Structure formats: structure tokens, C-alpha cells
Amino acid sequence: MVQFMCDVLNEKASAYRAATGYGLPMPQSSSTEALSPGRGRFQRGRGGRSGYNNYGNRNSPGKMSPMGTGSSPSAYGRGDDHHTEGGGLRPETLYKDFQLSNHEMKILAEAVKGVKIRSTHRPGAVRVYKVNSLQMGADQLQFKGQTEDGREMTKTVAQYFAEKYGDLRWPKLPCLHVGPPNRNIYFPLEICQLDSPQKYNKKLSEKQTSAIIKAAAVDAQQRQERIELLCKQAGFDTDPFLKEFGLTVSPNMFEMNARVIDPPHILFGDGPRMVDPVVIPKDGTWAMDNQTLYVPAMASSYSMIALVNPRDQGLLQGFCQALYNKVFCEATQMGMGFPKWPDLVKYGRNKEDVSMLFSEIANEYKQTRTNCDLVIVVLPAKNSDLYMTVKEASDMVHGIMSQCVLLKNVTRSSAATCANLVLKINMKLGGINSRIVADQISHKYVIDQPTLVVGIDVTHPTQAEERQNIPSVAAIVANIDLLPQAYGANVKVQRKCRESIVYLLDAVRERLVAFFKNTGMKPTRIIVYRDGVSEGQFAEVLREEIQGIRSACMILSPDYRPPVTYVVVQKRHHARMFCKNPQDTVGKARNIPPGTTVDTGIVSPEGFDFYLCSHFGVQGTSRPARYHVLWDDSGFNADEIQAITYA
């Protein structure tokens, strides 16, 4: 379990250490120079509240506060002699008095709760325990017992194990409370090991998810060979039960005809450069070389929050210059207006500082009676917790647009990275990057008539989150323009694990009102794409949500009844498609080309459904989405609904 502890902290606490500088050598001086920005330029000044001079009572490099003085030794103190070269923890390099900080205790407690372990202090005794919680260190956790002569005594867990089994190697490491919750059974971390194998019910970390995707991502040809091999190994031709029922399974894959829909052309803005604004996608991608944004956004001000290590402060002025040169000069060429320098630059250490820094920025703009169009947040490394904290403060608390940027991506950014940042910032500021050039079908059913395209999905809590009574979250997205390219959203919280949308009527009504305010017209057609519905829920969800959509229309006007098309999109299915001719494949993964559509052979003989692969498979085997048209007042034929869906 000590190795497990090291792995967990190396993964989940590494970004925290990078952001806070926790355990890193600190300057000897009690105050630190901080960059304080003025409007249009940077000034040198004393580090204030947003600087690093009040970094806390950290110890100097190579020094540590003695035990018993009120300050516990840092988990990354003692000259960092337990670190690997990459800053990670390893059991063989932990010193005897090594202990965890409060932040690390919290991380480890979440990781070990519910895990099954075995104890190793008694050879031959095999028993599996379930971890209830993480407790304090073995040298501090006490319990009451009786001596051999019947006298009551109080001992620490470390003392007990020292008398019975020998001294602990790391007596300050936390203990595990295991077994029945009403019994006080405590094991030191070092005498426990994970029971293997066991099911992992918690949410996977980013690193674990990436590892699973990498292991499962095999190209189309390898996937086809694996499927054929498994079919051969299953021995269907010799199965006595299949023979008894007169069933046979063909070892060959089912062949059917498919067609590839031509991709819609992409239209950019008319800029000063002599280039064709119409771009034809190839293999699901297109280049933005020398193109101008279709509707460029204009920003009058922006600020910056830098969550970087103190040793990187000297790089921030050059960082902001590089940000302008590499990103905003590119933005100017693409038509987007942006100030040369940020109005404010705030420095922070960790996610606890984020809310305070956003409040300071909002208050300073309020005092000057100006608006902040954007806050750029510089992150030291990828960290989902830190990212969510930034988005909560910007989107939910202060209502200020934010753009997170990794420090390495700005200081050493490529042209593709710059273009990607420009596209994100332009959309967040209300611009439109590009639009599709409508073909005959799209013009007839989407452009020529005001059409509301709605997307609906519900996110449910995991098993671990269900026990915490975390609700489900429903999102409704719809366009607010005629193109359609600009979208607005409604997010609603509802009872956990409920698939149908509870507040759909209110959300659709708000989307209809937003469309009318922006265009001055009512939608004459509504097309709904619904995600996350299984076939067993079709009837229930269709009945409730169609009724909610119609009620929302009639609330606005009793005689307002636009035709509704309701399409369910399924991504979790087991159908895989492979090109029969190798020359038809695309990309290194040799997948089916984008736009591949199948509506015969493997579809329902009764319903109106089809498969459509609308993306380019970069890695792994492409999985086409399956579309079920459950309701269609507009009377689309297969070609029309497929073309609209792909566009």
C-alpha cells in the first residue's frame, strides 16, 4: 500500500506541488519581487497580495522546522532526499519520519476508501479487509486495551506493532480503518497490500483513462483480425446447443453497401488577403491558411491570472510578450481585435487562490466602471480540479469569459496551437469562426426557413457519486441564428438517474425566445437530436419530451405548432464497419471515410434508422453513430435527414 500511496500522490498531487511550489527550494529573502502590470506596460514593484512575497512560512532550502515546535515537517522537506529525479515519491527513498500533509491525506483518503486489502504482518493468515477510512499516523493513533494482568492501558498503533511484530519502517504514515465499521481495527499502511484482482468502481483519473484508450485504440485492420480470430476460437460450428436448435453462425463478416456523403464546404470571412474564402474539407479536416474569421470578435480589455511557480515570475513579462506575438498578432491577421497588453495581471499559487483573484479582478473593473471581456488563466500543468475551479469562478460566480492556457503551449507554441487558441477566444467573445456553405437540401430545410436545431443530453452520476446523492444534469443547446452557427444553452439539475428531461418545457421556451430576439422570426421547424437514450426508453422519452416541446410552443402562442423532428443518437453500440477494398480506407488507422452512411442490411426492418460516421478516425477504429428517427412531422426522406445530420 505504500507503493499505492506513492502512485496516487505522484499522479494527483503533482500538479498541486507544481502550482504551489510545495517542497521546492524557496528564496532566502523574506520578500519576492513581483511583476505588477500597468495599462499597456509592465512595471517592477513589490509583491502585493497577488504576488508571492506572502508565500507562507516555508522553510529555507535544506532546512526543516524541528518536531514539537508547532509546525509539522513537510512531506517534501528534508532536502527532498526522498524524491526521484522527476520529483516523484518512491518507497525506497522515504525517510523514517516521513508524513503526509493535510492536502495529501485528503487525496489518499479518497483513493483508499472502499478498496480491499490484505495484511502481511502475520505469515500464513489470509484475510481480505475492506477499507473504511484513512486515520492519523500510527505513532499518534491510540487505542485502549488491557495488559496480561488485567490493567487498562493506552497504546499507539506503532507501539503495539513494535512490541508484537517489530518496529515500523514509517511510523508516521497513516493507518487504515478496516473491517466492520463499528469495530476499531487499524492497520499501518506499510503492512497492507492490495487484494488483486478487484473491481474498481471509482472514476478513473486522466492518466488511467488515457492508458485505457491507448491500450484499446487499435487500427481498423487489427480490430477486424481480432474479431475474426475470436469468432473462430468461439467454435460456433461445433457448438452442440446451436446444432440442437438448428442455428449456424457464419465465420465471415456481413457485407452491405454504403455510400459516402460529400462534405459541406466551409465559408470564412472576406479578408484583405487574396484567398478563396470557401474551403473544401478533405478526410474530415480543413486548413485555415491565410483565412479570415467569418464574424471576428472585438475585445476592448482582458486580464490575466498566472498560477505559476515563484521561480517562473521572471519569465512572465516575456511570456505576455510571446502571448501577444504568437497569438494575438495571428488573431489580428485573422480579423479579431485584441489589446496588446492585459489590464491586470494577478499571481496565484493554487486553486484556493483562484476565487480570490477573480474577485479582485471583478472589483477593480467595477471601480473603474469598465468591462472585462476575457480572463486568460495560465496553468502550470494539466489539472482537472484546477480547471474546474477556474471555470466555476469565471462562468458561474462572476460571469466573465475565461481561457485556460498551459505555460508550455504559449512559450513554445506552434502555428496550429495559435490558430486553435484564436478560434476558441473568438467564439467565447461572440464571434463566428466559419459557417457551412449550404447545399440544396440544407438551403431548402434549414437556411431558407427559420429552423431551430436542438441538442439534448443528460449526464448521470457514477456509482460512487450516487451514494453521495449527486443529481443528474440535463443540458439543452439550440441555435440562436439562421445559419445556424451561434448557440445558446440551458443547464438543469434533476433527480439522479432520471433520463427524461424534467424542465424541458422551460428550457425549450427560453431557447425559442432567444431565437426570436436574435432573428426577429419564429422557427418554422424544430429538429431535435437526443443523446443517451436506450431502445427500452424510446417510448417514455419520446412521449414526455415531444409533449414538453409542443407545450413550450403553445405557451408562446396557442396556434404556434411548428413541425418537430425527433432523432435519437446512439454511440454505445457494438457495430464496427470496415472497408472491403483497402484503397477506400483513410488515415493511418485505415478507417472508413467520414460521411460513410449505411441504411440497409444491418438496420431495423421496422424503424427509420441509419448509421453515419461523421468524423475522421485519427486513432483506433471509428465507431459510427446510430440515428433513430422516432418522430418526423416534416416528412424527411432518408437522403434529406442524412444530409442535414452530416452538415
Closest CA to 496 of 476, 475, 468: 468
Dist CA 595 CA 88 (whole Å): 46
Domain shared by 446 and 518, yes or no: yes
Closest CA to 375 of 310, 307, 434, 295: 307
- Percent share of the chain, pLDDT over 90: 43
pLDDT bin (cut points 50, 70, 90) of residue 39 is very low
pLDDT reading at 460 higher than 80: yes
Domain shared by 341 and 401, yes or no: yes
Question: Backbone phi, then psi, for 413, in 5-degree steps?
Answer: -90, 150
Q: What are the residues whose beta carbons fall under 8 Å from the beta carbon of 321, sequence distance 6 or more?
A: none
pLDDT reading at 566 higher than 60: yes
- Give the total number of structural domains in the chain: 3
Report yes or no on 279 lying in a domain.
Answer: no
Classify each residue of 255-274 as buried b or exposed e, where b means 16 or more C-beta atoms within 10 Å of its C-beta. Answer: eeebeebebbebbbbebeee
178-233 pLDDT, tens digit per residue, is 999 988 899 999 999 998 888 877 777 777 888 888 888 889 999 999 999 999 99
Domain shared by 304 and 349, yes or no: yes
pLDDT at 145: 75
pLDDT at 188: 93
- The length of the chain in residues reads 647
pLDDT at 315: 67
Mean pLDDT of the 157-161 span: 91
pLDDT bin (cut points 50, 70, 90) of residue 14 is low
pLDDT reading at 11 higher than 90: no
pLDDT reading at 174 higher than 80: yes
511-552 pLDDT, tens digit per residue, is 999 999 999 999 999 999 999 899 999 999 999 999 999 999
Give the CATH number, domain containing residue 552: 3.30.420.10
Mean pLDDT of the 585-602 span: 92
Domain shared by 404 and 543, yes or no: no
Dist CA 428 CA 431 (whole Å): 7
Q: What are the residues whose beta carbons fall under 8 Å from the beta carbon of 645, sequence distance 6 or more?
A: 529, 567, 612, 614, 627
Report yes or no on 141 lying in a domain.
Answer: yes
Mean pLDDT of the 329-354 span: 82
Q: Which amino acid is at 229?
A: L
The grid cell for 75 is: 512531506
Of 406, 429, 452, the last residue of a domain is: 429
Domain shared by 392 and 375, yes or no: yes
Dist CA 394 CA 361 (whole Å): 11
SS3 content of the chain, % helix, strand, coil (to 5): 35, 25, 45
pLDDT at 389: 93
pLDDT at 314: 65
458 beta partners:
474
Domain shared by 457 and 569, yes or no: yes
Give the CATH number, domain containing residue 393: 3.40.50.2300
Domain shared by 378 and 358, yes or no: yes
Report yes or no on 473 lying in a domain.
Answer: yes
Mean pLDDT of the 19-29 span: 39
pLDDT bin (cut points 50, 70, 90) of residue 487 is very high
Q: Is 44 helix (H, G, I), strand (E, B) or coil?
A: strand
Report yes or no on 205 lying in a domain.
Answer: no
Report yes or no on 20 lying in a domain.
Answer: no
Of 194, 215, 234, the last residue of a domain is: 194
Q: What are the residues whose beta carbons fall under 8 Å from the beta carbon of 196, sequence distance 6 or more?
A: none
Which alpha helices (H) appear in 166-239, and where do they start and end? Answer: 206-216, 220-234
Average per-residue pLDDT in the chain?
Answer: 82
Dist CA 290 CA 302 (whole Å): 26
Q: What is the DSSP string of 624-644?
A: -EEEEEEEESS---HHHHHHH
pLDDT reading at 82 higher than 70: no
For the ranges 216-220, 349-353, 553-557, the one whose mean pLDDT is highest? 553-557
pLDDT at 87: 56
pLDDT at 480: 93
The grid cell for 474 is: 440535463
Mean pLDDT of the 424-434 span: 90
pLDDT reading at 410 higher than 70: yes
Domain shared by 484 and 415, yes or no: no
pLDDT at 478: 96
pLDDT at 28: 35
Mean pLDDT of the 80-90 span: 55
Which alpha helices (H) appear in 471-625, and where do they start and end? Answer: 504-519, 538-556
pLDDT reading at 133 higher than 70: yes
pLDDT reading at 60 higher than 80: no
pLDDT bin (cut points 50, 70, 90) of residue 328 is low
Dist CA 396 CA 206 (whole Å): 24
For 160, the enclosing helix (H) or strand (E) is: helix 157-164
Mean pLDDT of the 373-396 span: 90
Q: Which amino acid is at 161?
A: F
Q: What are the residues whose beta carbons fall under 8 Å from the beta carbon of 499, sequence distance 6 or more?
A: 458, 532, 533, 537, 540, 541
Q: Are 89 and 6 in contact (CB under 8 A)?
A: yes
Structural domain of 507: 438-575+624-646
pLDDT at 239: 92
Q: What angle do CA 56, 60, 62 make, to 5 degrees?
A: 140
Closest CA to 156 of 420, 234, 164, 148: 164
Q: Which amino acid is at 435?
A: R
Q: What is the sign, positive or negative, of the torsion defined by CA atoms of 419, 421, 427, 429? A: negative
Distances (CA, A) of 417 to 273, 326, 408, 412: 22, 9, 11, 10
pLDDT at 485: 87
Q: What angle do CA 364, 365, 366 make, to 5 degrees?
A: 90
Domain shared by 485 and 398, yes or no: no
Q: Does the global pTM surpass 0.85?
A: no
pLDDT at 221: 92
pLDDT bin (cut points 50, 70, 90) of residue 65 is very low
Report yes or no on 21 lying in a domain.
Answer: no
Closest CA to 397 of 352, 351, 354, 367: 354
Domain shared by 408 and 459, yes or no: no
pLDDT at 568: 96
Q: Are 362 and 398 in contact (CB under 8 A)?
A: yes
pLDDT bin (cut points 50, 70, 90) of residue 38 is very low
Report yes or no on 533 lying in a domain.
Answer: yes
Domain shared by 100 and 189, yes or no: yes
For the ranges 331-335, 440-444, 603-607, the one whose mean pLDDT is highest? 603-607
Higher pLDDT, 192 or 26: 192
Closest CA to 578 of 588, 597, 592: 592
- Percent share of the chain, pLDDT over 70: 85
Domain shared by 318 and 463, yes or no: no
Dist CA 525 CA 482 (whole Å): 12
152 beta partners:
146
Report yes or no on 376 lying in a domain.
Answer: yes
Question: Backbone phi, then psi, for 367, in 5-degree steps?
Answer: -65, -35
> Three-class SS string for 61-93?
CCCCCCCCCCCCCCCCCHHHCCECCCCCECHHH
Strand ranges (DSSP E) for 396-463?
402-406, 435-437, 451-459
Q: What are the residues whose beta carbons fall under 8 Å from the beta carbon of 342, sequence distance 6 or more?
A: 37, 302, 303, 304, 320, 376
Closest CA to 177 of 198, 192, 162: 192
Helices 504-519 and 538-556 sit at what angle, rounded to 10 degrees? 50
Sheet holding 435-437, edge to edge: 278-279, 265-267, 435-437
Higher pLDDT, 240 or 204: 240
Of 429, 451, 480, the last residue of a domain is: 429
